[in-house]
Amino acid sequence: MAFHCYEMLVLVFLIVNMSFYGSVDGEKNALGASFIFGDSLVDAGNNNYLSTLSKANIPPNGIDFKASGGNPTGRYTNGRTIGDIVGEELGQPNYAVPFLAPNATGKTILSGVNYASGGGGIMNATGRIFVNRIGMDVQIDYFSITRKQIDKLLGESKAKEYIMKKSIFSITVGANDFLNNYLLPVLSIGARISQSPDSFIDDMITHFKAQLTRLYEMDGRKFVIGNVGPIGCIPYQKTINQLNEDECVDLANKLALQYNARLKDLVAELNDNLPGATFVLANVYDLVSELIKNYKKYGFSTASRACCGNGGQFAGIIPCGPTSSMCSDRYKHVFWDPYHPSEAANLILAKQLLDGDNRYISPVNLRQLRDL
């Protein structure tokens, strides 16, 4: 989701994505595997292996990520992503390893694989400003490789059961299709003249339906799909549009809401038409909006200023890097950088997805989805 304009810094990538949380042998219903798709909200290090302008494997990213001793891993936050936290809570024995990491081989993949990529989107043109990124079509191509590897590890019959019953497919995507495609003046002015918002969102939904159906055809049965959050309220948008603290960019939020309404219909359609599958919709938009609106209630001191960043009133222009200013109270900021939530915010969001009611997660929450 970020717009990264700093030069690529080469750091040694720490292989920490397989850090063990503890034995789950006694947990009958422990999640087997988590297959994570999407963008920088859940990227755990795939972009480290790409020549791309969208990277997070530089300090102080990861400063609160215990598994790496506070070193950057490629996660676009100060600590764990929502995907990390959900996996831990559901009893998954290890973090899902980035698909492009050298250790994404053998039995390691049975705890899950993360295909998400900073800058990625539903549409293949999304994120081209970053030069390289992995869009959803290629992420699913990568899963087809993993799927064959699991057949070899477990045998076809056990592999099919493991994927269908012991695995959750988590997809967090769509924000970049607006922020770094449709709303990006430099690259999309021609498209925006020739394509209305309705038409662009039609294309997104058509592509996404085909992508989710492909995962179903490879035996995915338990899905959680995040809708697009209030992208008009992120520090970057507030800063470049010179808004007040409690203002958001209307157009960006209207596009998100328009897409989310269509996504809700798509999820209902897939639940009706794909036998044996459960598609759960995570209402990220309302969850994050609630956190931003009532941030003090949740123990935060600001929901508009980035903890790590530079530029403008809300430190919202230059992404987080070694030369950024950084707040001293990281756990009191909803936003870590100009685009992404802090670990403190991710913990609150994850809790609602795990155990919340149908205002935020429906038709079941993630703990119930695991136990189906």
Catalytically active residues, by annotation: 40, 337, 340
Q: Could you tell me which residues come within 8 angstroms of residue 105 by beta carbon, excluding any fewer than 6 positions away?
A: 149
DSSP strand E in 99-183: where?
Answer: 112-114, 167-172
- Distance between CA atoms of residues 320 and 235, nearest Å: 12
Phi/psi at 119 (nearest 5 deg)? 95, -10
Q: Could you tell me which residues come within 8 angstroms of residue 121 by beta carbon, excluding any fewer than 6 positions away?
A: 39, 127, 135, 136, 173, 174, 175, 176, 177, 180, 181
Q: Could you tell me which residues come within 8 angstroms of residue 304 by beta carbon, excluding any fewer than 6 positions away?
A: 233, 235, 238, 245, 246, 292, 314, 335
Describe the strand order of the beta sheet including 97-98 as a list of residue ranges: 97-98, 112-114, 33-38, 167-172, 222-226, 278-282, 361-362
Structure tokens at 147: 């799927």
Is 62 within 8 Å of 84 (Cβ atoms)?
no
- Distance between CA atoms of residues 219 and 168, nearest Å: 11
End-to-end Cα separation, the chain, in angstroms: 32
Q: What is the DSSP letter of 270?
A: H
Around Cβ 274, how many Cβ atoms within 10 Å? 17
- Distance between CA atoms of residues 96 and 33, nearest Å: 8
Structure tokens at 2: 């970020």
What is the chain's length?
372
